[in-house]
Amino acid sequence: MAIEPKPGLNGLSVIWSWVPPAAPEVSRVELGLQVEPFLTGWNRAIARGTSVASYEVALKQAPPRVVTIRIRPPAIRVRSFRFPTPLDPALSPEAGHVGQVCAPLPVSGGPATRIAPPADVVKLEDRLHYLLQPPLEALLASHRLGFPRRPFPYQLTGIAFLYPRFSAVLADEMGLGKTMQAVTAARLLVHAGEVRSLLLVCPKPLVANWHREFALWAPELPVAVIEGDQSRRRWQWGLAEIPVKIANYEVLQRDREVFEPDAAGRRLHFDLVILDEAQRIKNRASATSQAVCSIARRRSWALTGTPVENSSEDLVGVFEFVSPGFLSPQMKPTRMGQTVRDYILRRSKDQVLAQLPPKLFRDAPVELTPEQRATYDLAQNEGVLRLAELGQSATIQHVFELVLRLKQICNFDPATGASAKLERLEADLEEVAASGRKALVFSQWVQTLAELGRRLGRFSPLEYHGRVPPSRREAVVRRFRDDPDCHVLLISYGAGSVGLNLQFAHYVFLFDRWWNPAVEDQAINRVHRIGTEGPVTVTRFLAIDTIEERIEAILAQKRELFETILSGAEGGCKLGLSEAELFGLFNLQVPTSVASAAA
Partner 1 sequence: MTDIKSKASIGFLTVVADAEHGLFGGYLVVNPAGRPLEFHCTAPVKPNRAQEILYGPTLEPYLYGEQIGQTLVRKATHEVLAVCTDRQPVLAVRDFVSVPVALVLPPESPQAVPSATELDNSAFGLRFNLPHAGGRLLTFELGKNRLAVPLGADSDRALIAERLDPLVNGFDLLEPFQRIREAIEEARRGGAAGQWQ
Q: Is 144 helix (H, G, I), strand (E, B) or coil?
A: coil
Q: Which of residues 407-436 bind partner 1 (CB under 8 A)?
A: none
C-beta closer to partner 1: residue 108 or 231: 108
Q: Is 534 in the site for partner 1 (CB under 8 A)?
A: no
C-beta closer to partner 1: residue 129 or 349: 129
Q: Which of residues 112-131 bind partner 1 (CB under 8 A)?
A: 112, 124, 127-129, 131
**What is the rounded distance in angstroms from the CA atom of residue 438 to the CA atom of residue 459?**
10
Nearest Cα residue to 301 out of 465, 207, 185 = 185
* Sign of the torsion angle spanned by Cα atoms 373, 379, 382, 383: negative
Determine which residue in the list 4, 36, 94, 389 makes contact with partner 1, applying CB under 8 A: 94
Q: Which of residues 136-165 bind partner 1 (CB under 8 A)?
A: 138-139, 141-143
Determine which residue in the list 74, 325, 457, 534 makes contact with partner 1, applying CB under 8 A: 74
Q: Which stretch of DSSP H or E encloses residue 245?
A: strand 244-248
**What is the rounded distance in angstroms from the CA atom of residue 543 to the CA atom of residue 512?**
9
Determine which residue in the list 9, 12, 45, 76 makes contact with partner 1, applying CB under 8 A: 76
Rounded least distance, CB 443 to partner 1, Å = 51
CA 28 distance to own-chain centroid: 110
Rounded least distance, CB 458 to partner 1, Å = 56
Within 8 A by CB and 6+ apart from 245, the residues are: 197, 198, 199, 200, 223, 224, 225, 226, 236, 237, 239
Determine which residue in the list 14, 26, 46, 91 makes contact with partner 1, applying CB under 8 A: 91
Estimate the crossing angle of helix 547-567 against helix 396-411, to 10 degrees.
Answer: 110
Determine which residue in the list 7, 32, 41, 93 makes contact with partner 1, applying CB under 8 A: 93
Rounded least distance, CB 70 to partner 1, Å = 9
Confirm if 99 and 76 have CB atoms less than 8 A apart.
no
C-beta closer to partner 1: residue 10 or 85: 85
Determine which residue in the list 33, 35, 66, 69 makes contact with partner 1, applying CB under 8 A: 69
Assign 3-class secondary structure to 456-517: CHHHCCEEECCCCCHHHHHHHHHHHHHCCCCCEEEEEHHHHCCCCCCCCCCEEEECCCCCCH
C-beta closer to partner 1: residue 139 or 585: 139
Nearest Cα residue to 376 out of 553, 544, 550, 577 = 544
Query: What's 276's DSSP letter?
Result: S
Rounded least distance, CB 360 to partner 1, Å = 42
Q: Is 92 in the site for partner 1 (CB under 8 A)?
A: yes
Residues facing 463 on adjacent strands:
490
C-beta closer to partner 1: residue 140 or 327: 140
Rounded least distance, CB 166 to partner 1, Å = 19
Q: Is 405 in the site for partner 1 (CB under 8 A)?
A: no
Q: Is 133 in the site for partner 1 (CB under 8 A)?
A: yes
**What is the rounded distance in angstroms from the CA atom of residue 187 to the CA atom of residue 181?**
10
Confirm if 184 and 102 have CB atoms less than 8 A apart.
no
C-beta closer to partner 1: residue 13 or 68: 68
Rounded least distance, CB 215 to partner 1, Å = 23
Q: Which of residues 335-374 bind partner 1 (CB under 8 A)?
A: none
**What is the rounded distance in angstroms from the CA atom of residue 310 to the CA atom of residue 575?**
7
Q: Which of residues 183-242 bind partner 1 (CB under 8 A)?
A: 192
**What is the rounded distance in angstroms from the CA atom of residue 288 to the CA atom of residue 306?**
18
| Interface residue list for partner 1 (CB under 8 A) | 69, 71, 73-74, 76-83, 85-86, 88, 91-94, 104, 107-109, 112, 124, 127-129, 131-135, 138-139, 141-143, 192
